[in-house]
Amino acid sequence: MKKIFHTYAVYNQWQNEKMLSYCDGLTDQERKKDLGAFFKSIHGTLNHILLSDRAWMGRFKNEPVQVGYMSQGLFEDYEDLKKERAKTDQAIIHWVETLTEETLRKDFTYTSAVDTITRTLPYWSCALHFFNHQTHHRGQITTLMKQLGLDPGIMDIPWTPGLAIIKGE
């Protein structure tokens, strides 16, 4: 099961780097334009993904992160957002490297920042949600990019650079 999460972590990093490279070609005004998405803009959605990732990483590492509300903007400056995204992706890869099969089979208890309900679920299901959540919102960003005339290209796991290496581990 750990290999699956390692694949997701590498895929996540690749997709974030790829998406941000496309966003580099947009003006700040285009990135922050309200296009009717749940988090309004590309920038707002990027901020939400980063905030959620940090909240979950805090839970997983038992280093809780205070989250006021899930649509709050962490970084107004795009360059700061990019730097923090890269740091967070490295932290995610490191976290996955520390996972054990035993940990993934344990129960995991957390309190939601959305509805304040405390839940106990299998650790693996929370880790799966963590990566699925990122993919969900990157899908929203690709729609916003298309509205601005950008083609984000192939975003599927089989095209992840290095996937053949992961398979052979």
Count of structural domains, the chain: 1
According to DSSP, the residues that pair with 80 across neighbouring strands are none
Distance between CA atoms of residues 14 and 159, nearest Å: 10
Token duo for residue 109 = 């208890």
Structure tokens at 96: 């996955």
CA atoms of 55 and 154, how far apart (whole Å): 28
Q: Which residue type is seen at 99?
A: L
Residue with tokens 């922050």: 32
Residue with tokens 């296009």: 35
| 110 exposure class (CB count in 10 Å sphere: 0-12, 13-18, 19+) | middle
Domain of 48, CATH number, reads: 1.20.120.450
Q: Where are the beta strands (DSSP E) in the chain?
A: 107-111, 118-122
Range of the domain at 6: 2-168
Only one residue has tokens 């880790």, namely 127
In sequence order, what are the residues at sequence separation of 6 or more whose Cβ sits closer than 8 angstroms to the Cβ of residue 118? Answer: 109, 110, 111, 112
Angle formed by the axes of helices 42-60 and 2-23, nearest 10°: 150
Longest distance between any two alpha carbons in the chain, whole Å: 47
The pLDDT tens digits along the chain (169 residues) read 899 999 999 999 999 999 999 999 999 999 999 999 999 999 999 999 999 999 999 999 998 776 665 556 778 999 999 999 999 999 999 999 999 999 999 999 998 888 889 999 999 999 999 999 999 999 999 999 999 999 988 889 988 988 766 555 5
pTM: 0.89
5-22 tens-digit pLDDT: 999 999 999 999 999 999
